[in-house]
């Protein structure tokens, strides 16, 4: 596969894939429990029943499996990830109502529009990107979603005692991202309370319903 000249944000995942294969460790999350907590926050903040969902950076398809295990009756789930081995693994899980596509949405933002998503979800995919790239991805994701965008990131406003993230992980300023979000819509929700140290944060942005001015 040919990669773009600067795809350093994917390097940690390729190295993890080479070391761990498609085992959970390839996701670079600390534990399955921590990953599940982030997924729970998504479902608490964003109504997904009956929705067309685009999961940007879907990896092994763990979020899709989470939704299926909890009988979330979404209309359609589309996962996108740049690593072919992970897409192959996700597809092999044969999750009902789910499909997985290989592609780099950083290079090709049109991938974020696959399946005409009402909701675009980004869990963990921003953690290895610099801020400029993060903002470009978020702009494209917001444009692709017809209703909502929900994403998490590692917060720079965490307590000093927060877990140390080794390697490629980058922290982002939640105030910077909230200011960006509020510049696009007043319907913004924010959480940074689901881990004791506050090292992780989630933002939900909703587009106003047409015809509703109130």
| Burial track 151-190 (b if 16+ CB lie within 10 A, e otherwise) | bbbbbeebeeebeeeeebebbbebeebeebbeeeeeebeb
Max Cα separation, the chain? 53
Region label for 180, one of left (φ > 0), alpha (ψ between -120 and 50) or beta (otherwise): alpha
Residues 151, 190, 46, CA angle at the centre, nearest 5°?
60
DSSP label at residue 155: B
Helices 174-182 and 131-144, axial angle in degrees (round to 10): 30
- Within a domain: 84: yes
pLDDT tens digits along 16-69: 667 777 666 656 656 788 899 999 999 999 999 999 999 999 999 999 999 999
- Cβ atoms of 95 and 104 within 8 Å: the answer is no
CATH code for position 93: 3.40.50.150
- Within-domain flag for 212: no
Q: Is 22 contained in some domain?
A: no
The answer to whether position 102 is within a domain reads yes
pLDDT grade for 170, boundaries at 50, 70 and 90: confident
Does 4 map to a domain? no
Answer whether residue 28 is part of any domain.
Answer: no
Token pair of 14, please?
């390729």
Q: Is the pLDDT of residue 183 over 90?
A: yes
The answer to whether position 103 is within a domain reads yes
pLDDT of residue 181 exceeding 80:
yes
116-140 pLDDT, tens digit per residue, is 999 999 999 999 999 999 999 999 9
Per the structure, the complete domain to which residue 148 belongs is given by 36-206
As to burial, measured by CB atoms within 10 angstroms (0-12 exposed, 13-18 middle, 19+ buried), residue 50 is: exposed
Q: Is residue 214 part of a domain?
A: no
The tally of domains found in the chain comes to 1
Q: pTM for the whole thing?
A: 0.87
**pLDDT for position 120:** 98
């Amino acid at each position: 596969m040919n990669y773009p000249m600067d795809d350093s944000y994917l390097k940690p995942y390729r190295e993890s894939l080479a070391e761990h294969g498609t085992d959970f460790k390839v996701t670079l999350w600390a534990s399955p429990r921590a990953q599940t907590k982030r997924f729970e926050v998504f479902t608490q903040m964003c109504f997904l029943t009956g929705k067309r969902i685009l999961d940007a950076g879907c990896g092994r398809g763990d979020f899709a499996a989470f939704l299926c295990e909890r009988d979330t009756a979404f209309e359609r789930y589309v996962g996108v990830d740049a690593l072919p081995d992970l897409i192959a693994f996700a597809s092999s899980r044969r999750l009902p109502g789910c499909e997985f596509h290989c592609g780099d949405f950083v290079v090709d933002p049109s991938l974020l529009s696959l399946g005409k998503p009402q909701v675009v979800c980004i869990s963990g995919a921003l953690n290895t990107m610099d801020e400029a790239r993060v903002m470009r991805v978020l702009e494209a994701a917001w444009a692709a979603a017809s209703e909502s965008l929900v994403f998490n990131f590692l917060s720079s406003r965490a307590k000093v005692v927060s877990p140390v993230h080794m390697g490629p992980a980058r922290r982002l300023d939640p105030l910077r991202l909230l200011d960006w979000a509020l510049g696009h819509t007043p319907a913004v929700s924010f959480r940074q309370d689901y881990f004791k140290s506050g090292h992780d944060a989630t933002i939900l942005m909703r587009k106003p319903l047409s015809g509703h001015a109130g």
